Amino acid sequence: MDVISVIRTKRDRGELSEAQIDWVVDAYTRGAVADEQMSALAMAILLNGMTRGEIARWTAAMIASGERMDFSSLSRPTADKHSTGGVGDKITLPLAPLVAACGAAVPQLSGRGLGHTGGTLDKLEAVPGWRASLSNAELMDVLDSTGAVICAAGDGLAPADKKLYALRDVTGTVEAIPLIASSIMSKKIAEGTGSLVLDVKCGSGAFMKNAADARELAETMVGLGTDHGVRTVALLTDMSTPLGLTAGNALEVRESVEVLAGGGPADVVELTLALAREMLDGAGLTDADPAKALADGSAMDVWRRMIAAQGGDPDADLPVARETHVVTAPRDGVLTRLDAYDIGVAAWRLGAGRARKEDPVQAGAGVELHAKPGEPVRAGQPLLTLHTDTPDRFAYALESVEGSYDIEETGGLMARPIVLDRVAAG
């Protein structure tokens, strides 16, 4: 077996054999296949796709590259959630402690930013002292003591995915449905959670720009989970406009704490509760009321314990960018469009994301929104505030912001629901 023949097979629109898939995933994990060679294969997969059989085998090979976890010793049922990535998508931060406050155990293994979308670990690392990397023993201790843990997947869990995930981010292959599905599901199946809820984003700020692609991804992942004995459902959710009023690491942590305190933007609260209900249903906790757990402070209590258990200080001041630039409305009217992708790119250019897998991110960088579509604005009113430690980034970010919004003289705007559809097995 050699990597060139594998690349050529997929380049020429052929179907990879089970032996080819098993070999190339294992060889890449061992370092016998170079990054540039796997980049070529990933691009061929992006352009030419994979059959259902290829995706299933690729996922199985990713799982087989490492260990599998077991949460059967816990006294609580387990439930997990994964988002395919969006702009301002800080939902995991309030969601994990909320579901734990309702009686489930939430082993939330999360990732870093991909392209224009933010990463949960990057956000939480804005909290002073907080650690993303935990040993399996530490993970179990935090989960047992607090009910929720948000951390990086350990080196032993689907190591093939850890390498490929970082490579996809910097080679323009993030959007490949087979690679998204296998990346997500290999980790979640190996993780050993009893039930899984998928938040599949759809819209300009998502990797799936249209409903058909989002549904294909959702159905692929639900099928993979179900075949491996994990109760899996997916919600298709809107990502045409950024979620909430912030996009950036510390900015989103601050907003998440507002939600846990009983406030926060309505769209963030709505989606958090919708996903919480699905997770609790999957865990068999159908009588739990997540709205009550937000209102009575019990979710906030779990958040504080969870952050502290991972070395963070829940009372510490969050980082603030050294420089800001305010974008104002050029005229009176109604904001009728605020493009999620453009805002995500602006946040990335300000330093909230990375161009190379080795790059650091700025904790305080990002974009703050002062209006959402459907709201009236007046000339000179702040629309956006850009945050960064490096002011020479403003000009580049403003190129993306310039075409990100529309203001009309009058305005009827049909409100688009956050949850667009639900996909379940069978």
The more confident residue out of 355 and 146 is 146
Catalytic residue among 81, 82, 112, 387: 82
Q: What does the pLDDT average to over 347-374?
A: 91
Give residue-wise pLDDT tens across range 46-81. 999 999 899 999 999 999 999 999 998 999 999 999
CA 109 – CA 81 distance, rounded (Å):
9
Task: Supply the pLDDT for residue 123.
Answer: 96
Count of CB atoms situated within 10 Å of the CB of 320: 13
Q: Which of 116, 123, 168, 201 is catalytic?
A: 168
- What distance, in Å, lies between the first and last C-alpha atoms of the chain? 38
Classify 3-49 by CATH class.
Answer: mainly alpha
User: CB-based contacts of 31: which residues, under 8 Å, 6+ apart?
Assistant: none
* pLDDT tens column, 275-304: 999 999 999 999 999 999 999 999 999 999
Against a cut of 0.85, is the pTM above it?
Answer: yes
Q: Residue 424 and residue 233: Cα distance in Å, rounded?
A: 5
Would you state the pLDDT for residue 357?
Answer: 67
Assign 358 a pLDDT band (cuts: 50, 70, 90). confident
Q: Confirm whether 188 is a catalytic residue.
A: no
CA distance 402 to 257: 30
Model confidence over 296-341: pLDDT tens digits?
A: 999 999 999 999 999 999 999 999 999 999 999 999 999 999 999 9
When pLDDT is averaged across residues 206-220 and rounded to a whole number, the result is 92
Mean pLDDT of the chain, nearest integer: 94
- The confidence band for 376, taking pLDDT boundaries of 50, 70 and 90, is very high
370 labelled catalytic: no
Positive/negative CA dihedral, 308, 269, 86, 77: positive
Which entry of 22, 80, 89, 161 is annotated as an active-site residue? 161
Domain extent listing, the chain = 3-49, 80-316, 323-408
> Is 357 one of the annotated active-site residues of the chain?
no
Which residues does 359 contact at the CB level (< 8 Å), separation at least 6?
Answer: none
Catalytic residue among 123, 187, 277, 349: 187
What is the token pair recorded at 267? Answer: 């769209």
- Give the lowest-confidence range in 17-31, 198-212, 289-303, 409-423: 409-423
pLDDT for res 411: 63
The candidate with the shortest Cα–Cα distance to 215, out of 239, 191, 235, 240, is 235
Q: What pLDDT is recorded for position 412? A: 59
pLDDT at 89 (0 to 100): 96
> What is the predicted pLDDT for the residue at 166?
81
CB-neighbour burial class of residue 289 (10 A; exposed 0-12, middle 13-18, buried 19+): middle
Query: With 80 as the cut, is the pLDDT of residue 369 above it?
Result: yes
Please determine, looking at this structure, whether the domain spanning 80-316 carries the CATH number 3.40.1030.10: yes
Catalytic residue list contains 187: yes
Mean pLDDT, rounded, for 85-99: 96
Q: What type of residue sits at position 350?
A: L
Q: For 149-157, what is the mean pLDDT?
A: 87
Determine the pLDDT at residue 115: 72
Q: At what angle do helices 18-30 and 52-64 cross, to 10 degrees?
A: 40
- Write the DSSP assignment of 82-100 as a string of letters: EE---SS--THHHHHHHHH
- Cβ–Cβ contacts within 10 Å for residue 170, how many? 18
pLDDT tens, position by position, 235-277? 999 999 999 999 999 999 999 999 999 999 999 999 999 999 9
Give per-residue burial for 49-66: e unless 16+ CB within 10 Å, then b.
ebeeebbbbbbbbbbbbb
Q: Rounded CA gap, 279 and 299, in Å? A: 15
Q: Looking at 169-178, 262-271, 382-391, which range is the least confident one?
A: 169-178
Catalytic residue among 65, 110, 182, 183: 183
Alpha-carbon distances of 373 from 2, 223, 333, rounded to whole Å: 52, 35, 11
CA distance 377 to 314: 35
Q: Is the pLDDT of residue 228 over 90?
A: no
**CATH classification of 323-408, choosing from 1.10.260.40, 2.60.40.1170, 3.90.1170.30, 3.40.50.300?**
3.90.1170.30
Annotated catalytic, 90?
A: no
On the question of pLDDT at 193 being above 70, the answer is: yes
Per cent of the chain over pLDDT 90 is: 83
Over residues 106-130, the pLDDT tens digits come to 999 888 887 788 899 999 999 999 9
Does the structure show a pLDDT above 70 at 93? yes
